[in-house]
Structure 1
Amino acid sequence: MVRNFGFLVCIVVIVMDVVAGILGIQAEIAQNKVKDLKMWVLVCRDPSYQAFKLGLSASILLALAHAIAHFLGGCICTKSIEQYKRATSNRQLAMAFLVLSWIVLGVAFSMLIIGTLANSRSRESCGISNHRFLSIGGILCFIHGLFTVAYYVSATATRREECK
C-alpha cells in the first residue's frame, strides 16, 4: 500500500522555515541588547553569544528544510529554453519555484551567516554598522518556505503527470 506523505513533507518544511525565521529575528533582538558605541558610520559592539547560537540554529534549519524539500521533491529540470516552453504548466512552475527557492536560500543563508559571524568574535569589534542582517535573513526564511513548498507540490505533480 503506497502512502502519500506529501502533506507531511510540506508541513515539516514550513515549520522548519518558520522556526528558522523566528530564530533569525530573535537573534537580531539578542544582538540589539548588547551595548554598542556609535561614532558616525562606525559602530563598536561586543559580540552576543546568544545571537550567535540563534543565528547558527536558524542557518542550519534553513539549509535542512531546503535539503529535505529538494531531495524528496526530486530534480525537475529542463535542458533548454525550447524544452521549457514545450513543458507542461506543472513542470514550468516547478522550474520557476526551483530557481526562486535557490535564490532566496542564497540570500537568506548569506544574511544569516554574516549576522552570525559578526557575533562569533571573542573580542569587541568595530566596523561599519551591520544591523538587520539577522532579521532580514529571518524574514527571507518565511519566503523561502513558501517557494520551497510550492516547488515540492509542483514537482510531485509533474512526476505524477509523467507516470500517467
Structure 2
Amino acid sequence: MSKDIGVLVCLSIMVLDISAGVIGIEAEIAQNKVKHPTQLVVECTIPSFKAFKLGLAATILLGLAHVIANVLGGCICIGSKADLPTANRQLAISSLIFSWIILAIGLTMLIIGTLANSKSRKYCATPHHRLFTIGGILCFIHGLFAVAYYVSAKATAKEERQNRRGSQA
C-alpha cells in the first residue's frame, strides 16, 4: 500500500513541476507576442495580462510541488551525531539542498517575470528577456531533485526503522 502512495506522490510532484515548466514557457511566449518598442538600448515594456496569469500559475505550481515533496518526505536532517550518515541520508540531504537552491532561483525568475507583466507596471528600462523560460526550465530540474529527495528520505526512514528493530532484538 505504501509503495502505491510513494509512486503517486512522485508522479504528482513530477506532474506539478512539468506543468509549471510548460506554463512558464507559455508565459514567455505570451509575453513575446506583445509589442515592445525600443529606443537605443532601452525597451519600453507593455504588460501582458496573459503572461501575468500564466506566470502566477507557474509560480503557484512550483511552490506546491516543493511543499508536497518536503512535507510528505519528512525531515531526515535531524539525527544523533553518533549515527554514521548512510548513502540514502547523504543523497536526501544533498537533493534537499539542491531543490531549495533551484526553488529559490526558479521562483525568483518566475516572480520577477510575473511582476513585470502586472497591469500597473508599464516602464522603460533595459530588457529582461527569458525570465519565464529560465524559470520554466528550472521547474523541470526542481522536479528531479524533489523526487530524489522524497525517495531517499523515505528510504532513510525505512533504514532507521529497521535499525531500531534490529537493535531492540
Query: Shorter-chain TM-score: which interval?
Result: over 0.9
Aligned match of 1:138: 136
1:111-122 maps to which residues of 2 (within 5 A)? 111-122=109-120
Aligned length: 161
- CA drift of 1:144 comes to 0.1
Q: TM-score, normalised by structure 2?
A: 0.90
d(CA) in 1 for partners of 2:90, 2:140: 23
Distance 1:100 1:14 in 2: 16
Alpha-carbon distance in structure 2 between the residues aligned to 1:35 and 1:120: 16
Percent identity, please.
58
Q: Kindly tell me: are residues 123 and 70 of structure 1, through their superposed partners in 2, closer, same or farther at Cα, counting changes over 3 Å?
A: closer
The equivalent of 2:159 in structure 1 is 161
Residue matched to 2:64: 64
**Superposition pairs of residues 73-112 of structure 1, within 5 angstroms:** 73-78=73-78, 83=81, 86-112=84-110
Indicate conservation of the 8 Å contact 2:49/2:119, yes or no.
no
1:3 partnered with 2:2: yes
Aligned to 1:43: 43
SS at the partner of 1:36? coil
Give the Cα separation in 2 of the matches to 1:84 and 1:51.
52
Give the deviation of 1:34 after TM superposition.
0.3
Code of the residue aligned with 2:96 in structure 1: it is L
State the Cα distance separating 1:120 from its structure 2 match. Answer: 0.4
The answer to whether the 8 A contact 1:84-1:92 is kept is: no
Instruction: Write the distance in 1 (CA, Å) between the matches of 2:121 and 2:96.
Output: 40
RMSD: 1.7
**Cα distance, 1:45 vs structure 2:** 2.0
**Alignment partner, residue 55 of structure 2:** 55
Q: How far 1:128 moved relative to its partner?
A: 1.3
Mean Cα deviation higher: 41-50 or 148-157 = 41-50
Q: 1:85 to 1:111 in 2, by over 3 A?
A: farther
The Cα offsets for residues 101-130 of structure 1, whole Å up to 9 and x where unpaired, read as: 000000000000000000003353211101
CA drift at 1:78:
4.9
* Change beyond 3 A, Cα 1:85–1:101: farther
- The verdict on how the C-alpha distance between 1:84 and 1:36 changes in structure 2, with shifts beyond 3 A counting, is farther
Deviation at 1:16, TM superposition (A): 0.3
Contact 1:62 1:109 in 2 (8 A): yes
